[in-house]
């Protein structure tokens, strides 16, 4: 039954959350655990880098300036934030908003892998190069953003990080253009998965 299926996903995510919370080997444990949020039956999963200050304070992903841009773009393509799922590779804030280190990414990686396996989205939108390189180690963000790329059982749609778009009008134009193509990319994924 659909209800049982949704409950199973909710329970699996709750169990995963509790496991991360209890894992004393993880780095950055002084910060809050920002697990992720959104629809359990999402078609689209957004993956960023790591929470920033605002995200750490509110214990929610993408609620600062980058999050506002993400919300605005979702609205433009007729999607609601509640219909997608949003998370990060590294689930705790690195101090001073520095980039997550390779060790931090490696430590949180198995948990992201399990989170994706529970959610089973149609398309994974990676925000920024760290998240893109998690799936596509050899990809270059300036070359590969906006391309729909199949990686095993997943379809990856790399985009610039919203923070990068906010820093440069040129990047903003590219980010916007590719974001507006997301519904098309999603339709393509569904078609290739035999869903439409």
Residues within the interface to ligand URA (CB under 6 A): 48-52, 55, 61-62, 64, 66, 88
> Looking at beta carbons only, is 64 or 121 nearer to ligand URA?
64
Q: Is 148 helix (H, G, I), strand (E, B) or coil?
A: coil
Minimal CB distance residue for ligand URA: 48
> Looking at beta carbons only, is 39 or 126 nearer to ligand URA?
126
Least distance to ligand URA, CB of residue 37, Å:
10
Least distance to ligand URA, CB of residue 52, Å:
4
**Residue 48: partners with Cβ closer than 8 Å, 6 or more residues away:** 61, 62, 66, 86, 87, 88, 89, 127, 128, 131, 161
Please state, in angstroms and rounded to a whole number, the distance separating the CA atoms of residues 39 and 154. 18
> Looking at beta carbons only, is 16 or 56 nearer to ligand URA?
56
Alpha-helical (H) ranges within 49-168 are 53-58, 65-76, 102-119, 129-135, 141-144, 162-167
> Looking at beta carbons only, is 38 or 52 nearer to ligand URA?
52
Least distance to ligand URA, CB of residue 60, Å:
8
Least distance to ligand URA, CB of residue 49, Å:
4
Q: Is 157 helix (H, G, I), strand (E, B) or coil?
A: strand
**Cβ(26)–Cβ(111) under 8 Å?**
no
């Amino acid at each position: 039954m659909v209800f049982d299926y949704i409950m199973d996903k909710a329970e699996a995510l709750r169990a995963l959350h509790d496991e991360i919370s209890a894992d004393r080997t993880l780095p950055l444990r002084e910060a809050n655990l920002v697990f992720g949020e959104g629809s359990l039956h999402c078609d689209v999963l957004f993956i960023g880098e790591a929470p920033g200050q605002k995200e750490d304070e509110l214990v929610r992903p993408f609620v600062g300036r980058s999050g506002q841009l993400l919300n605005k773009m979702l609205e433009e393509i007729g999607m609601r934030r509640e219909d997608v799922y949003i998370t990060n590779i590294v689930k705790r804030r690195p101090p001073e908003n520095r980039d997550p280190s390779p060790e931090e990414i490696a430590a949180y990686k198995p948990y992201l892998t399990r989170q994706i396996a529970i959610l089973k989205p149609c398309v994974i939108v990676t925000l920024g190069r760290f998240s893109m390189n998690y799936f596509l180690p050899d990809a270059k963000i300036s070359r590969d953003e906006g391309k729909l790329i199949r990686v095993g059982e997943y379809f990856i749609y790399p985009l610039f990080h919203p923070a990068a778009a906010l820093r440069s009008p040129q990047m903003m134009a590219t980010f916007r253009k590719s974001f507006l193509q997301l519904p098309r990319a999603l339709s393509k994924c569904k078609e290739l998965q035999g869903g439409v």
